A = this chain, B = another copy of it.
Amino acid sequence: MKAKVHVRLKSGVLDPQGKAVRHALLGLGFAGIESVRQGKLIEIELSETCPERAYASVEEMCRRLLANTVIEDYAIALED
């Protein structure tokens, strides 16, 4: 079973990396870019086959390591 975890900064949190990417895109001549936010995509291959147990395990991984829940949100999607 495969889990895809999206970790993104909470909406009020400043994102200097996203701002730098937006600035670079504008410098390359791209117009109409209102904002850029950069987050992480973490793909985990698990030997667990039960979706409920896999989800619970990945959620614990997010809380303990993958996301800083003070400033980041996470979303988990499971695939077979």
The reply to whether A39 and B34 contact each other, CB–CB distance below 8 Å, is no
Report B-chain residues with C-beta under 8 Å of the C-beta of A44: 33, 35-36
List, in ascending order, chain B residues with CB within 8 A of A33's CB.
44-47
Given A30-B57, A57-B30, also A40-B43 (CB < 8 A)? no
Given A39-B41, A41-B6, A65-B28, is A34 in contact with B21 using a C-beta cutoff of 8 Å? no
CB distance from A34 to the nearest CB of B (A): 4
- The answer to whether the Cβ of A38 comes within 8 Å of any Cβ in the partner chain is yes
Q: Chain B contacts of A41 at CB under 8 A?
A: 6-8, 38-41
Q: What residues of chain B lie closer than 8 Å to A42, measured between beta carbons? A: 18, 21, 36-39
